[in-house]
Chain A
Amino acid sequence: MDAIILQILNGLDKGSAYALIALGLTLIFGTLGVVNFAHGALFMLGAFCAVTVQRILSLSYSVLDETKKDFLGNPLKVDTHYIEAWFGPEIGASIIDWSVPLAILFSIPVMIAVGFIMERGLIKHFYKRPHADQILVTFGLAIVLQEIIKAYFGANPIPTPAPALFTGSFDFGVLIGFAENAITYPIWRLVYFIFALLVIAAVFAFLQFTTFGMVVRAGMADRETVGLLGINIDKRFTIMFAIAACVAGVAGVMYTPINSPNYHMGMDFLVLSFVVVVVGGMGSLPGAVLAGFMLGILEAFASMNEIKQFIPGIDQIIIYLVAIIILLTRPRGLMGRKGVMEE
């Protein structure tokens, strides 16, 4: 029993990332009808926002400290972070420590701007072009973004630690009546999961309970009629694209302490997120979220040693196998609607 709960917990953080990316993909697909192969790159850009913030916060200057001497007797060079010099050492250190959560504040405007430029500058011109062209141009864009990041930040993963408060793990088993240390879980993964739930809830609430969201939903159902009613639906869809980019971006920011970001992390997530979208049902937002968590947990189960002994290597292919089976039995995915992308 405790092993099962542990695997469910282990699946949650990856499942959260899949769900967030798939949610953005579905939003873009449902509104603009564009398949965005650059969505993984947006996730990656978000992660590198965290790296940038970390770098900016830890900018430092060196001073010669006459009181301390190195082993040759020369005055020692001491690096001081600007932040610490401005806010005092204690507050400064804690600001640097909290760089990942702070990066969210930085990433939201950046990702909205990126999404806006991307939609107005590129994707707008591809509404009328065939889907193959949309896939190709966004794929090209993903390569370009990835290579730019590689040129600036290098090819190696860059560690970005979580705040000290959230490092380490806590004993989850005790909370629900198991023996001590039966189920321990890293705190940051729980934070990530809760964060993902909040973002998903916010997106759904935005679509469900605001007038703007209502218009967007109407536009998703029938774009032409909404346009005929005198509503500038293109503008709203552009904003939805920026929001989807933002969701992918913050998902990337928060994911950095779990896996150190590298330039191809977006591509790795993208393929699986597409599978998630297809399994959930193209164009269905709840389907994307559900399938994201489901496949994440399934992957965690498949990487249990007991199962791996039985079928070696199943954890590497389980998601694809499930996707193939689901598409063969339910061609529209778990919650797909009729008529979405049928022609």
Chain B
Amino acid sequence: MLGLNKKDALLFMIVALLVGIAPFLLNPFPEGSSLGQMFNAGYPDLMQRFVIFGILVIGFNILFGLTGYLSFGHAAFLGIGSYSAVWMFKLLGYNIVPAILLSVLVSGVFSLLIGFIALRRTGIYFSILTLAMAQMCFNLAYSVLGNPNSNFNLTNGETGLQVYGNDPQYLMSEGSREIPHLFGLAMRDSYQWEISGWLFTFNTGYYLSGIIMLVAFYLSIRIFRSPFGLMLRAIKSNKQRMNYTGLNARPYALAAFVISGMYAGLAGGLLSSMDPLAGAERMHWTASGEIVIMAILGGVGTLVGPILGSGFIEYFKNILSKINDSLLHQWLSWLPDGLEDGIVWVLHFFVGKGWQLTLGVLFMLVVIFLPGGLVEGGQRVGRLFRRKKGGADGASAKQPAE
């Protein structure tokens, strides 16, 4: 189907189905119940982040998963995409089509430039170079190009770029809407469906981003299965041998870099389309680190890993930052008092404002014990059950990437 083999088509259909029914899946508890306040994630803002970061990490995976080049500066392209989109809102109007097109284009140009320089080196040199260049972009956006008093204020510095009333917006006609929209379909419009206590929200922005993510996912499957993808894998497994066969690896790596940069720009443009505001903190290198964490957690080099990883992190970030001490006391009230206080004291550092600590610990555990991420974890569990049935399968150990 669509040029996919049976297995990939099935995977694609499952992902599409999950994206379609996510508003139900993410709201398993009745509205207003205590469990619902805690674990429900079916509100538009968060669901949009799920799919948009999915796009970002799918793109990152095309670079890191296939070629093995670990870019530590991918957030720069996300930020560049966001800024370009907001500029389109400022200049042309609130239709998101030109905004997203420009953000993909501009981040493509930037990734071509940065990739051209960074890909002259491999390994950690490459990581450090991308890190340095992303940090340079961050500094440029944060202070140099964002001085509100100069005539050349591209990014509006600390405040972040946003649309003001006196912006030209040349394509705005009388009736057009004052919020980001797709030919009149506003991104923040939602249809809410209430049945016996349950509340399901169907948000335009989410479904648009979801469809775009499915397209991005489809493209990434095609890239993974194409001769081009095979060439990228060759770069990862042995670049020298590839050189000996007379192939120049750099154009392929550069193409992968630009593609993944454009994915990041697309994600940035979508983020701005959901909320027309772009700030430099999106480009900070800790944001790049978070992209890497998502990719690793899901499973690098696998098709569905990036979606799992980004969804997992966004979901738990949301839940962990909601938990506080009194809630912990409430949950653990069945324990003896002293023990309860002790456990709450320990857990206190991991929840609420300390969710980043949990993220860091989780990340370390995954890198140490489960380098293949959640996908590998799932495979291991699956293998465990298969072995119990008696099938001694000689699953060959995966060779680590050099």
Q: List A residues at the B interface (Cβ < 8 Å).
A: 35, 122, 125, 129-133, 135-137, 139-141, 143-144, 146-148, 150-151, 267, 271, 274-275, 277-278, 282, 312-313, 316-317, 320-321, 323-324, 327-328, 331, 341, 343
Contact = CB atoms under 8 A, between A and B. Distances in A.
Interface in B125-160: 125, 127-129, 131-133, 135-136, 139-140, 143-145, 147, 150
B357 A320 contact: no
B121 interface: yes
Interface string B326-363: 00000000000000000000000100001011011101
Contacts of A141: 360, 364
B140 A313 contact: yes
A330 B132 CA distance: 17
Nearest to A129: B400
Given A278-B125, A320-B136, A327-B120, A133 B361 contact: no
Interface stretch (B191-199, B218-226, B285-293, B385-393): B285-293
A103 B46 CA distance: 46
Contacts of B127: 35, 132, 135
Given A148-B349, A331-B120, A282 B125 contact: yes
B128 A316 contact: no
B294 to A, nearest CB: 12
Nearest to B114: A324
A327 B361 CA distance: 34
B124 A135 contact: yes
A136 B371 CA distance: 10
A144 B364 CA distance: 9
Contacts of B367: 133, 136-137, 140
A321 B368 contact: no
Interface of B: 64, 68, 70, 72, 117, 120-125, 127-129, 131-133, 135-136, 139-140, 143-145, 147, 150, 240, 285-286, 289, 292-293, 296, 349, 354, 356-357, 359-361, 363-364, 367-368, 371, 400-402
A169 to B, nearest CB: 27
Nearest to B358: A147
A312 B150 contact: yes
Contacts of A135: 70, 72, 124, 127
A316 B144 contact: yes
Given A136-B292, A139-B292, A313-B147, 12 more contacts: A130-B400, A140-B361, A143-B356, A147-B354, A267-B285, A317-B136, A320-B133, A324-B129, A327-B121, A328-B117, A331-B120, A341-B123
A267 B371 CA distance: 24
Contacts of B293: 140
Contact of B124 (A35, A267, A275, A320): A35
A125 B364 CA distance: 13
A182 to B, nearest CB: 30
A130 B402 contact: yes
A162 to B, nearest CB: 29
Contacts of A312: 144, 147, 150
Which 7 A-B residue pairings sit nearest by Cβ, starting from the closest? A313-B144, A143-B360, A140-B364, A147-B357, A320-B136, A144-B360, A316-B139
B368 to A, nearest CB: 6
7 contacts: A143-B359, A148-B357, A151-B357, A267-B285, A313-B140, A328-B120, A331-B121
Nearest to B145: A313
Contacts of A133: 367, 371, 400
Nearest to B371: A133
A275 B128 contact: yes
Given A313-B143, A327-B129, A271 B285 contact: yes
A328 B11 CA distance: 43
Contacts of A146: 360
Nearest to A282: B125
A122 B117 CA distance: 33
Nearest to A132: B70
A267 B123 contact: no
Contact of B286 (A130, A151, A267): A267
A271 B289 CA distance: 12
Nearest to B146: A313
Contacts of B286: 267
B131 A132 contact: no
Nearest to B117: A324
A323 B129 CA distance: 9
A320 B135 contact: yes
A282 B72 CA distance: 18
Given A313-B143, A316-B140, A341-B124, A151 B364 contact: no
Given A147-B356, A316-B139, A271 B132 contact: yes
B361 A316 contact: no
B360 A278 contact: no
A131 to B, nearest CB: 5
A155 B16 CA distance: 42
A89 B331 CA distance: 51
Nearest to B401: A130
A137 B364 contact: yes
Contacts of B401: 130, 132
Given A136-B296, A147-B360, A271-B131, A317 B140 contact: yes
B132 A275 contact: yes
A271 B357 CA distance: 21
A44 B359 CA distance: 20
A340 B117 CA distance: 20
Contacts of A277: 128
B131 A131 contact: no
Most buried by B among A129, A136, A150, A324: A136
Contacts of B402: 130, 343
A316 B143 contact: yes
A143 B363 contact: yes
A331 B117 CA distance: 11
B121 to A, nearest CB: 7
Contacts of B349: 148, 151
A188 to B, nearest CB: 27
A225 to B, nearest CB: 23
Given A135-B127, A312-B147, A271 B135 contact: yes
